[in-house]
Amino acid sequence: MLANYLIGLREGLEAGLIVGILIAYLGKIGRRDLFGRLWFGIGIAVAVSLGVGALLTWGPYAMTFQAQEMLGGTLSLVAVALVTWMIFWMGTHGAGLSKELRGQVDAAVDRSWFAIVLLGALAVGREGIETALFVWANVSGGNDPVLGTVGALLGIVTAIVISWGISRGLVRINLSRFFTWTGLFLILVAAGVLVYGIGDLQEASVIPGWGTHAFSLVEAVPPGSWYGTVLAGIFNFTPEPTWAQVIGWVLYVAITTTLYLGMLHRRRRPVTAVAPASAAPTTAAVAAN
């Protein structure tokens, strides 16, 4: 539930910030008449996201077991890829997000009325579909689907309240620090979903090695214990992983965390000003004096 709450909170906050920027800019340029079209596009995005969630929840039951496992494993890998992309995209585009969205609004206003609808649908729909897919993949790992869904909804509601508070100046939050730490946490959550997806593909005989455990932590972390339940619910922890799952988890966490921390380091590294060549003689003269 905690993992899904955080997913809903992060994705909801991203969507809320995007909507807030779009509405504020339309108001600033005196195009309040386009608010209805923007909200219509946002409504389409919400409906599509709910539809994707419903299709993922009830669609696979008409399939064979092997087909279900193949679909579940493939969609889990897709969910991991989307969330990984989202983490890096927000880290690299977060600072210039407002400017980028204002440029998209200007281009949409110059085109047609439908362009504003499409802008609202695409801006929010990406976050909604990512949320639906990743929550489904996380819940499919054996977590309680009701608690998982409730956790995601609570996260989205919290994000809406925070976004409204930010727009009114009632809430102040260090968004850079928030997205940085939640990004690191979601890397571990995504690694767990990756392990689950690999397990599904192994059960479907797409990847070999199912049934051969790399090690067993059942005695240290019993599945029925409270801490075993918490680890399984948040990180999709399994006490008896296969070698493919262990290798996949280690490689994903090592590579993704290294690249993510490197990106943060480059973003925060101060830019050293280089003196122009023409100033060099003056500096030397001053030193000589």
Identify which of 181, 206, 185 has the alpha carbon closest to the alpha carbon of residue 76. Answer: 206
Work out the mean pLDDT of the chain and round it to a whole number.
77
Q: Which two tokens stand for residue 209?
A: 């090695």
User: Residues 208, 211, 212, 214: is their CA dihedral positive or negative?
Assistant: positive
- Considering 18-32, 181-195, 240-254, the range whose residues carry the highest mean pLDDT is 240-254
pLDDT tens, residue by residue, 105-140: 877 777 766 787 887 787 787 778 777 777 777 666
pLDDT of 278 > 60? The answer is no
The mean-pLDDT minimum among 5-19, 164-178, 194-208, 211-225 falls in 164-178
pTM of the model: 0.67
Identify which of 254, 51, 15 has the alpha carbon closest to the alpha carbon of residue 127. Answer: 15
pLDDT tens, residue by residue, 175-212: 677 778 878 888 988 898 899 889 989 988 899 988 88
Identify which of 184, 177, 194, 63 has the alpha carbon closest to the alpha carbon of residue 134. Answer: 194
Q: Which two tokens stand for residue 212?
A: 């051969």
Confidence band of 274 (pLDDT split at 50, 70, 90): very low
CA distance 42 to 191: 31
Identify which of 81, 84, 83, 56 has the alpha carbon closest to the alpha carbon of residue 71. Answer: 56
pLDDT of 224 > 60? The answer is yes
Work out the average pLDDT over 228-242: 81
Phi, psi of 213 (to 5 degrees): -85, 140
pLDDT of 283 > 60? The answer is no
Residue % of the chain over a pLDDT of 70: 78
**pLDDT reported for residue 289:** 39
**pLDDT reported for residue 259:** 94
Higher-pLDDT residue of 170, 193: 193
pLDDT of 288 > 60? The answer is no
**pLDDT reported for residue 273:** 45
**pLDDT reported for residue 250:** 96
Higher-pLDDT residue of 146, 253: 253
Confidence band of 150 (pLDDT split at 50, 70, 90): confident
The mean-pLDDT minimum among 46-50, 78-82, 118-122, 275-279 falls in 275-279
